[in-house]
Chains A and B, each alone.
Chain A
Amino acid sequence: MSELALRMVGVNKVFPGVKALDDIHFEVEKGEIHALIGENGAGKSTLIKILAGIYQPDGGEIFIDGKPVKMDNVITARAHGISVIHQELSLAKNMTVAENIFMGKFPSKSKYFVDDSGMMEETAKLLKLIGMDELQPDTPVSRLSVAQQQMVEICRSLSEEIKILVMDEPTASLATAEVERLMDIMRMLKKKGVTIIFISHKLNEIFEICDRITVMRDGQYIGTRVTKELPYEELINMMVGRDIQNVYPPHKTNPGEMLLEANHINSDRVFDASFKLRKGEVLGFYGLMGAGRSELMRALLGIDKSTKESVILDGKKIVINNPTEATQEGIVLAPEDRKYEGLILKQTVGFNITLPILSRIIKGIKLDKKLNDETIENIGKRLRIKTPSYDAKVVNLSGGNQQKVVLAKWLVTNPKVLILDEPTRGIDVGAKQEIYKLIYEIVEMGVGVILISSEMPEVMNLCDRIYVLREGKITGEIARDEITEQTIMQYAIGGIES
């Protein structure tokens, strides 16, 4: 075996309620391009953040070039030659290409002044090195395309002495030609002896460029293989094969007549998506990060700019231009990020629950106290919200109970279609189980539930039917008895043959 550039041994990381990393072993050889792959939430980003000194591990050791090191913070990681290009680019948009590349280490001749011309020259050299001569060092970054901005990030890494370059989904928002170019740069860097860790969901890219592949799943290390010796099916199995825990209540839905038909929805991020939902059905939408699941729902509700050929609810054609109209029609969305889109955290449980039905409980300045209290108490009891009182502020509730408040808020409007976007994200197993039970109780009343989830077992166990999305398109529809992890993953990730 050739020399190891990086060795991480027994790395653990616990977040409140979640074991994000469980005894991870990760070895990267010098000068290779190493893929790190796994479902959303597998722990890839957490591992990288530990390597970059952003998170501190709860246990385990890191060796660089065989020597143990401790990554106290981003600066020590950088001093050890580790450079990370994060998914969200971290450039100062208002500053020039050169300024961004040399931020924090501006070249200078005297003590107080930046050596501008020197910085421009250096930048031009770096740009040339990666074949981006067409960029001018003094162009503001805001004028560059996403791909070009990524190149600037790469230049920033190259301006330092790097040993290991980590790229977290660099191709997620790039077009094919741009991806080719990025790969050329990666090959060039490899020739120069840089070790690259490449995180991507796109298998064809990984098979094309990576020497070895490490698979992670649910915070655990699954295995490392040489790319050439790893068949595609086996990789999929490594990614999904898991024991399904017994947290799912028995499946007992009984889908009835057609409730909602959405035909040919288009937006910036969604392309020609059509789907159908029945009464009393739990309909799943699965896709990897950025596949466009949330965006599809946002387009349906008119939150994002979109065009829809037709939306038919209960046999009637309806028009939805904004979330207010959607709510009036009985289509409601419990958004992905409950803290930023779902709840008014500073306000009480009762305030949040009654927010969509203010017209019913307040006439002028007269609060219908009886109706108000009854509504809150009924729904609170039904959803088993645990709170010291309904006058408690939502911010003090646990994640699971906050999620129940979001559900309560929408259930009081008697919706026809309830869209749940990642309803169990960041809540513990017990609370998840509660939410699952509630979902079944809700569909029993004839509501159609759309469940968006990144957790494959969740959609597999709860849903009557699953649509799989990839890159903004619906790539597959799977009925309950045909659902297997392999089929879902194939639709989600796209075969390498495609």
Chain B
Amino acid sequence: MSEAKAVSVKKTNPVKQYLNNNIGMLIGLIAMCIIISILQPNFLQVKNLFNIMRSISITGIIGFGMTLCIIINGIDLSQGSVIGFTSCFCAWLLSSVGLPFWAAILGALAAGSLFGVFNGALLANTSLPPFVVTLATQLIGRGGCYVITRGNMINVDPAFGQLGNGYLFNVIPLPVIYLLVIFVVMFLLLGKSKFGRCVYAIGGNREAARFTGIKIRKVTWIVYSISGFLAAVCGIISCSRITTGQPTTGNAMEFDAVAACYLGGISYLGGEGRIGSTLLGAIVLGVLANGMSMLQVPWYVQNITKGCIILAAVFFDVMRKEKGKSK
């Protein structure tokens, strides 16, 4: 035994690691659930819990896209507008053009992805800041909503509503299924694939990634395209939920996505964070909103509470990092 200290690749239990990384937020979530359920016992009903999950499906799905953007030190402010645009576009394709459901869905997905591709192409090939580029596409997208709908609502075939309002086994709302499926795909993509590692490398140290020969442009481009695509998925769900295309759909949704990311502990400095954390962040936001509604807290107070909680979450995250640094 000449090697005194054999260093090994430790076997880490993924569940343990998840608990470890998110322990603060999990405790907060559980505490919140206990308090709300004491004050309002209906909170814990299965139906209500699924309602919460359905209410966060959109925040969660675009939150996953936002997570990628934030990890590579970017942001996608156009998500809300893309949701609006694709939902109006989908409605328009269904009602005015008269396409079948599948074709309208494909069309809307393509339109949303195009926004993402546009963002990505600009950000990959120029040094424009993501904040500015996606703010511009946000305005373009929102304007586009009004162009398509001429400022009105477009009603669609009520049968289309099944996609967003239906249930699996009469219990699980379909949007929750979409959320979970996309969660698994994104989890594998970010956590297991080569692409995911490149994303972390770029966010962690762009220069080092460049020296290592990682194709930064390509990765940037794909990240924003994914974000656009996921926003399109949410646009279709929104369109189906209300069976109309409305130009105000998805307004400011990107901020909920950012909030979910930060709450979940995605580092605002980039390079760190997991998809699971974003999901947790979205759930916390959902429970908070649902609980406060059940307790009949007015919506403006809800916003104030939300703001304070986000501030507190990021504050503790920063504190924890500074503590880690001084070690």
Q: Contact at B211–A376, with CB atoms within 8 Å?
A: no
Q: Contact at A377–B9, with CB atoms within 8 Å?
A: yes
Proximity string of chain B (241-253) to chain A, C-beta cutoff 8 Å, 1 when within and 0 when not: 0000000000000
Q: Which of B187-224 contact A (CB under 8 A)?
A: 188-189, 192-194, 197-198, 200-201, 204-205, 207-215
A14 an interface residue at 8 Å Cβ cutoff?
A: no
Q: Which of A322-347 contact B (CB under 8 A)?
A: 323-324, 326-328, 333, 335, 340-347
Q: How far is the CA of A344 from the CA of B199 in the complex (A)?
A: 12
B7 an interface residue at 8 Å Cβ cutoff?
A: yes
Q: How far is the CA of A256 from the CA of B146 in the complex (A)?
A: 72
Proximity string of chain A (147-172) to chain B, C-beta cutoff 8 Å, 1 when within and 0 when not: 00000000000000000000000000
Q: Contact at B8–A377, with CB atoms within 8 Å?
A: yes
Q: Contact at B7–A365, with CB atoms within 8 Å?
A: no
Q: Contact at A355–B214, with CB atoms within 8 Å?
A: yes
Contacts of A364 on B, CB cut-off 8 Å?
Answer: 193
Contact of B205 among A324, A343, A356 (CB under 8 A): A343
Residue of A nearest to B216 (CB): A324
Q: Contact at A344–B10, with CB atoms within 8 Å?
A: no
Contacts of B214 on A, CB cut-off 8 Å?
Answer: 324, 355
Residue of A nearest to B189 (CB): A365
Q: Contact at B197–A351, with CB atoms within 8 Å?
A: yes
Q: Contact at A387–B7, with CB atoms within 8 Å?
A: yes
Residue of B nearest to A375 (CB): B9
Q: How far apart are A476's CB and chain B's nearest CB, in angstroms? A: 29
Q: Contact at B213–A344, with CB atoms within 8 Å?
A: no
Contact of A356 among B192, B212, B327 (CB under 8 A): B212
Chain B interface residue number, banded? 20 to 34
Contacts of B8 on A, CB cut-off 8 Å?
Answer: 377, 389-390
Contacts of A372 on B, CB cut-off 8 Å?
Answer: 9
Question: A335-B211, A365-B192 are contacts. A344–B200 as well, Cβ < 8 Å?
Answer: yes
B322 an interface residue at 8 Å Cβ cutoff?
A: no
B12 an interface residue at 8 Å Cβ cutoff?
A: yes
Q: How far is the CA of A252 from the CA of B314 in the complex (A)?
A: 55
Number of interface residues of A (CB under 8 A): 42
B272 an interface residue at 8 Å Cβ cutoff?
A: yes
Q: How far is the CA of A290 from the CA of B8 in the complex (A)?
A: 42
Question: A341-B208, A373-B9, A389-B8 are contacts. A367–B200 as well, Cβ < 8 Å?
Answer: no
Q: How far is the CA of A335 from the CA of B211 in the complex (A)?
A: 8
Q: How far is the CA of A380 from the CA of B193 in the complex (A)?
A: 23
Q: How far is the CA of A391 from the CA of B8 in the complex (A)?
A: 9
Q: Contact at B192–A342, with CB atoms within 8 Å?
A: no
Contacts of B80 on A, CB cut-off 8 Å?
Answer: none
Contacts of A396 on B, CB cut-off 8 Å?
Answer: 327
A350 an interface residue at 8 Å Cβ cutoff?
A: yes
Contacts of A362 on B, CB cut-off 8 Å?
Answer: 192-194, 197
Contact of A390 among B9, B189, B204, B213 (CB under 8 A): B9
Proximity string of chain B (1-29) to chain A, C-beta cutoff 8 Å, 1 when within and 0 when not: 00101111110100000000000000000
Q: Contact at A377–B210, with CB atoms within 8 Å?
A: no
B271 an interface residue at 8 Å Cβ cutoff?
A: yes
Which residue of A344, A364, A366 has the most chain B CB atoms within 10 A of its CB atom?
Answer: A344
A247 an interface residue at 8 Å Cβ cutoff?
A: no
A470 an interface residue at 8 Å Cβ cutoff?
A: no
Q: Contact at A350–B193, with CB atoms within 8 Å?
A: no
A381 an interface residue at 8 Å Cβ cutoff?
A: yes
Q: How far apart are A380's CB and chain B's nearest CB, in angstroms? A: 6
Q: Contact at B211–A323, with CB atoms within 8 Å?
A: yes
A246 an interface residue at 8 Å Cβ cutoff?
A: no
Q: Contact at A343–B208, with CB atoms within 8 Å?
A: yes
Question: A333-B211, A365-B189, A409-B212 are contacts. A344–B201 as well, Cβ < 8 Å?
Answer: yes
Q: How far is the CA of A380 from the CA of B8 in the complex (A)?
A: 9
Contacts of A386 on B, CB cut-off 8 Å?
Answer: 5, 7
Contact of B271 among A303, A346, A380, A390 (CB under 8 A): A346
Q: How far apart are B106's CB and chain A's nearest CB, in angstroms? A: 25
Question: A358-B197, A362-B194, A365-B192 are contacts. A344–B7 as well, Cβ < 8 Å?
Answer: no
Q: Contact at B7–A341, with CB atoms within 8 Å?
A: no
Q: Contact at A340–B201, with CB atoms within 8 Å?
A: no
A235 an interface residue at 8 Å Cβ cutoff?
A: no
Residue of A nearest to B210 (CB): A323
A359 an interface residue at 8 Å Cβ cutoff?
A: yes
Question: A351-B200, A362-B193 are contacts. A344–B271 as well, Cβ < 8 Å?
Answer: yes
Contacts of A326 on B, CB cut-off 8 Å?
Answer: 213
Q: How far is the CA of A388 from the CA of B272 in the complex (A)?
A: 21
Q: How far apart are A73's CB and chain B's nearest CB, in angstroms? A: 22
Q: Contact at B10–A389, with CB atoms within 8 Å?
A: yes
Q: How far is the CA of A324 from the CA of B12 in the complex (A)?
A: 32
Contacts of A194 on B, CB cut-off 8 Å?
Answer: none
Q: How far is the CA of A342 from the CA of B209 in the complex (A)?
A: 8
Contacts of A333 on B, CB cut-off 8 Å?
Answer: 211
Q: Contact at A347–B7, with CB atoms within 8 Å?
A: no
Which residue of B192, B205, B271 has the most chain A CB atoms within 10 A of its CB atom?
Answer: B205
Residue of B nearest to A381 (CB): B3
Q: Contact at A346–B197, with CB atoms within 8 Å?
A: no
Contacts of A356 on B, CB cut-off 8 Å?
Answer: 212-213
Question: A351-B197, A355-B197 are contacts. A346–B212 as well, Cβ < 8 Å?
Answer: no
Q: How far is the CA of A376 from the CA of B10 in the complex (A)?
A: 12
Contacts of B197 on A, CB cut-off 8 Å?
Answer: 351, 355, 358, 362
Residue of B nearest to A385 (CB): B7
Q: How far apart are A338's CB and chain B's nearest CB, in angstroms? A: 9
Q: Contact at A358–B194, with CB atoms within 8 Å?
A: yes
Residue of A nearest to B193 (CB): A365
Q: How far is the CA of A324 from the CA of B189 in the complex (A)?
A: 23
Q: Contact at B194–A327, with CB atoms within 8 Å?
A: no
Q: Contact at B193–A347, with CB atoms within 8 Å?
A: no
Residue of A nearest to B192 (CB): A365
Q: How far is the CA of A377 from the CA of B272 in the complex (A)?
A: 25
Which residue of B192, B193, B212 has the most chain A CB atoms within 10 A of its CB atom?
Answer: B212
Q: How far apart are B183's CB and chain A's nearest CB, in angstroms? A: 14
Q: Which of A23-44 contact B (CB under 8 A)?
A: none
Q: How far apart are B226's CB and chain A's nearest CB, in angstroms? A: 15
Q: How far is the CA of A343 from the CA of B271 in the complex (A)?
A: 12
Q: How far apart are A333's CB and chain B's nearest CB, in angstroms? A: 6
Q: Contact at A390–B194, with CB atoms within 8 Å?
A: no
Residue of B nearest to A354 (CB): B197
Contacts of B210 on A, CB cut-off 8 Å?
Answer: 303, 323
Q: How far is the CA of A362 from the CA of B272 in the complex (A)?
A: 20
Q: Contact at A365–B188, with CB atoms within 8 Å?
A: yes
Contacts of B211 on A, CB cut-off 8 Å?
Answer: 303, 323, 333, 335, 341-342
Contacts of A303 on B, CB cut-off 8 Å?
Answer: 210-211
Q: Contact at A341–B9, with CB atoms within 8 Å?
A: no
Contacts of A340 on B, CB cut-off 8 Å?
Answer: 205, 207-208
Q: How far apart are B240's CB and chain A's nearest CB, in angstroms? A: 30
Q: List 5 A-B contacts (CB under 8 A).
A: A350-B9, A351-B200, A355-B209, A355-B212, A365-B188
Counting from the closest, the 6 A-B pairs by CB-CB distance are A344-B204, A324-B213, A365-B192, A327-B213, A373-B9, A358-B194
> Chain A: residues with CB nearer than 8 A to chain B?
303, 323-324, 326-328, 333, 335, 340-347, 350-351, 355-356, 358-359, 362, 364-367, 372-373, 376-377, 380-381, 385-391, 396, 409
